[in-house]
A and B are shown apart, each in its own frame.
Chain A
Amino acid sequence: MQIPYTIEERPETGLNNSKLGIWVFLASEVMLFGGLFSAYVFLRLAAPEGDFAYWGSKLNVPLATLNTLVLISSSVTVIMSWASLKLKDFEKYKLYMGLTLLCATIFLVIKYFEYTSKFHHGYYPSSSNFMAIYFTLTGLHGLHIIGGMIVMTYFWLPAGNKLWHTDPEHFTNRIEIAGLYWHFVDLVWIFLFPILYLL
């Protein structure tokens, strides 16, 4: 049995099932990070004058700026990988997807150095409310990066991309969905960067 509109779009909505599904999922993700952002605002307003700014100054802005650039590049490469599939160029797809995964790895490595340098200086989540929310938000964001990497690695490896050879349209759709998720994860970082590092 085939579920209708798995690949082709339903005319009235202009969407296939997975596309609508990922939008609904992302809406719930917005609420998840939205909840944590409001916690940040709540705690910041309640904190003693200057407390958040003081602890915020302990973070490494140049490294985070570099990380922002890395993530933005990965957003570009993930679009390119999807576009390559649309142009039926499977080798290019492999290249761009590989680059995306590389960027994601670089991001995590830089994040790792940031974390360890904090621990090295004796800054832990329990040090202050700022550090607590910093580690919670970036940690959760990091988990989202890892989740995305797992999915994209699967589609990069032969086990996942053999669908291309049997049903290219379906495979292209999956990459599009993965890309939408990846853009969202980038977008979260674009919010995190200023509120944690710059404000």
Chain B
Amino acid sequence: MSSDQHHHEESFIQKYIFSVDHKTIGLQYGITSLLFLLFGFGLMMVMRWQLAYPETPVPIVGWLLGETGILLPEIYNSLGAMHGTIMIFLGVVPLAVGAFGNYMVPLQIGAPDMAFPRLNAASYWSYFIGGVIMLSSFFMPEGAARSGWTSYPPLSIFESGQTIWLIGMVFLITSSLLGSMNIIVTIVQLRAPGLSWWRLPLFVWTQFVTSFLLVLAFPPLEAAAILQLMDRVAHTSFFLPSGLVYAGATVDVAGSGSPLLWQHLFWFLAHPEVYVLILPAMGIVGEVLANNTRKPLWGYSSMVYASVFLGFMSFIVWAHHMFLTGMGTAMSAFFQTTTMIISIPSVVILTSFFISLWGGRIRFNTPMLFALSFLPMFGIGGLTGLPLGIGASDIHLHDTYYVIGHFHYVVAPGTIFALFAGIYYWFPKITGRKMSEALGKLHFWPSLIFMNGIFMPMFIQGLAGVSRRMYDGGEIYAHAQDVLQWNEFMSISAFLLGAAQVPFIINILISIFNGEKADRNPWQATTIEWSAPSPPVPHLNFEGDVEVYRGPYEYSVPDAETDFLPQTEK
């Protein structure tokens, strides 16, 4: 796979653009995905303006929306669909798996690189092309997709912008497949001598399970995307029933297809995708908690078993998104049961994290604050999911803002906070400098407050019956009148949340050049990546051979001289 010509000078392009070093590729993933997260967040701020101040010109970016500067309904739909798509497929997954997985997995298992360096680069560039295609759709005459990130037919077959969305998705899916194959092979094959499975850090385990989910769940979505593309381009009717009426006229297609087929194929991916969004986050939280409680993780092996079990179960719960489609009570009963079962491993993991705090000598640094707040935030997200997994209560809650509140608690103050924790925690390894603690706290506290300011009222609105994806935020509904006043509060929280990211951006930019210098192990951590220099050696990672002698979290071992015993020390 690799070259023997190691000691020659690399050109700028080889080194930074078409690099095959997993660290450079990880950084490329990281920077690109952070920019996409910012962009997806920006789309949402425009939507929140409309919801708070309906049909008034949007400040700052209004000129992009046409002469009046008012957000039009079609564009609102586009922004919503693209917010969801960008946040998931171009933001969180590439950051959690592409960036953290790529950078940290080889380091944490003591390997010189990923198993297939060139495939790794191909996966990044496929992601990049997919991203460019998605972005360019805003400038196409048809506009960006507007059928939601779920792209339900029949609407998605007729609405404009969808074809380019599907093509973009094919690239993103390909990228994920290549990347996750690579991670699986790397973990199985390239563990350093002595690093048995039960000595792997929790983060590596979660990346392992996540990669299996990506490898096995994405292809059915690819299949579904191909079928939808056929429906749009070759006028087949996979998803179109006979006698369908659209825009006042009967649609002229062969018919006898089924919109439910799409929903089954889509959710067969999209439920495991939820665990793709959350598992790496749990892995990061595990690393940070162990390090800052100075204690071994409580229930490490149960958490590993729970993650693997979660992975298996996530393939047989998908139709809990479809209770209201009339698929039948037997189906509903089955998926309701599996959904209740899958909540158990999540509870096991969360409980183990909480117990891990017990009796620890906790250091409240920025990564730890983010990791700690992950616990209650993910807890709220998870618990509010239970009523959605039970058919009877879902009838009331389905497609309301309650759902939006529920899954955002999981992915925004949950996953995003864990990813922030990871950035603060591993920044010294990547750059050789620490991030500022003061700015970090200035980032953390407002973020925590405003996240809750946005998402908590969504439960109130949703319980009152306000539907999601509404251009007017529910204004025309009588039953929504009592809860509409929350819209402005939520939107202002969203804008302030945006402002709270400024210290983070400044912190990164300043710390790269002027941060406090960090040695190879600034957090006194045990896992293997901390025995490499900061930053690790290009194309090699470690200076010599890596040998592993102990488990991942040997903190505060009685009778030891220090309160931590690195995995690589005898």
A interface, CB within 8 angstroms of B: 1-6, 10, 13, 15-18, 20-21, 24-25, 27-29, 31-36, 38-39, 42-43, 46-48, 51, 124-129, 132-133, 135-136, 140
Q: Which of B237-276 contact A (CB under 8 A)?
A: 237-238, 253-254, 256-258, 261, 264-265, 268
Which of B185, B188, B215, B265 is the one whose CB lies under 8 Å from A39? B265
Bound form: Cα–Cα A135–B229 in Å: 13
B237 and A1 contacting across the interface, CB-CB below 8 Å:
no
Q: Hey, which chain A residues are within 8 Å of B226, CB to CB? A: 36, 136, 140
Contacts A35-B221, A127-B254 supplied; 12 other A-B pairs, CB < 8 Å: A1-B112, A3-B2, A35-B222, A35-B224, A36-B226, A39-B238, A42-B258, A43-B258, A125-B234, A125-B236, A132-B236, A140-B226
User: Across the two chains, which residue of chain B brings its CB closest to A10?
Assistant: B189
Q: Hey, which chain A residues are within 8 Å of B540, CB to CB? A: 1
Q: Which of B198-221 contact A (CB under 8 A)?
A: 215-221
Q: Hey, which chain A residues are within 8 Å of B256, CB to CB? A: 43, 46-48, 51, 129
Q: Hey, which chain B residues are within 8 Å of A29, CB to CB? A: 219
22 A–B pairs (Cβ distance < 8 Å), ordered by A: A1-B113, A1-B540, A2-B2, A3-B2, A4-B190, A16-B189, A17-B116, A20-B185, A20-B188, A25-B181, A31-B215, A31-B216, A31-B220, A33-B223, A35-B268, A43-B238, A43-B258, A43-B261, A48-B256, A126-B236, A126-B253, A126-B254
Check if B539 is an interface residue, CB within 8 A of chain A. yes
User: Across the two chains, which residue of chain A brings its CB closest to B115?
Assistant: A17
Supposing A31-B216, A36-B223, A125-B230 touch, asked if A24 and B185 sit within 8 A by C-beta, the answer is yes
Closest chain B CB from A49 CB (angstroms): 12
Q: Hey, which chain B residues are within 8 Å of A1, CB to CB? A: 2, 6, 112-113, 539-540
B220 and A126 contacting across the interface, CB-CB below 8 Å:
no
B220 and A35 contacting across the interface, CB-CB below 8 Å:
yes
User: Across the two chains, which residue of chain A brings its CB closest to B538?
Assistant: A1
Bound form: Cα–Cα A36–B216 in Å: 14
Bound form: Cα–Cα A7–B198 in Å: 27
Binary flags per residue of B100-140, CB closer than 8 Å to A gives 1, else 0: 00000000000111111100000000000000000000000
B258 and A15 contacting across the interface, CB-CB below 8 Å:
no
Bound form: Cα–Cα A131–B185 in Å: 39
A129 and B254 contacting across the interface, CB-CB below 8 Å:
yes
Give the one of A13, A39, A129 with max B CB within 10 A.
Answer: A39
Check if B363 is an interface residue, CB within 8 A of chain A. no
B interface, CB within 8 angstroms of A: 1-2, 4, 6, 111-117, 177, 181-182, 184-185, 188-190, 215-224, 226-227, 230, 234-238, 253-254, 256-258, 261, 264-265, 268, 539-540
Bound form: Cα–Cα A21–B218 in Å: 17
B113 and A17 contacting across the interface, CB-CB below 8 Å:
no
Closest chain A CB from B209 CB (angstroms): 14
Bound form: Cα–Cα A13–B191 in Å: 12
Which of B2, B215, B221, B230 is the one whose CB lies under 8 Å from A24? B215
Bound form: Cα–Cα A92–B297 in Å: 58
Supposing A31-B219, A39-B223, A136-B230 touch, asked if A24 and B189 sit within 8 A by C-beta, the answer is no
Bound form: Cα–Cα A43–B217 in Å: 21
Q: Hey, which chain A residues are within 8 Å of B188, CB to CB? A: 10, 13, 20
A126 and B237 contacting across the interface, CB-CB below 8 Å:
yes
Closest chain A CB from B205 CB (angstroms): 17
B215 and A28 contacting across the interface, CB-CB below 8 Å:
yes
Supposing A31-B219, A35-B220, A35-B268 touch, asked if A21 and B234 sit within 8 A by C-beta, the answer is no
A128 and B254 contacting across the interface, CB-CB below 8 Å:
yes
Q: Hey, which chain B residues are within 8 Å of A39, CB to CB? A: 223, 227, 238, 261, 265
User: Across the two chains, which residue of chain A brings its CB closest to B4?
Assistant: A2
Bound form: Cα–Cα A17–B112 in Å: 14
B253 and A3 contacting across the interface, CB-CB below 8 Å:
no
Supposing A1-B539, A31-B216, A46-B258 touch, asked if A132 and B189 sit within 8 A by C-beta, the answer is no
Closest chain B CB from A98 CB (angstroms): 27
Bound form: Cα–Cα A36–B228 in Å: 12
Q: Hey, which chain B residues are within 8 Å of A5, CB to CB? A: 115, 189-190
Bound form: Cα–Cα A1–B182 in Å: 18
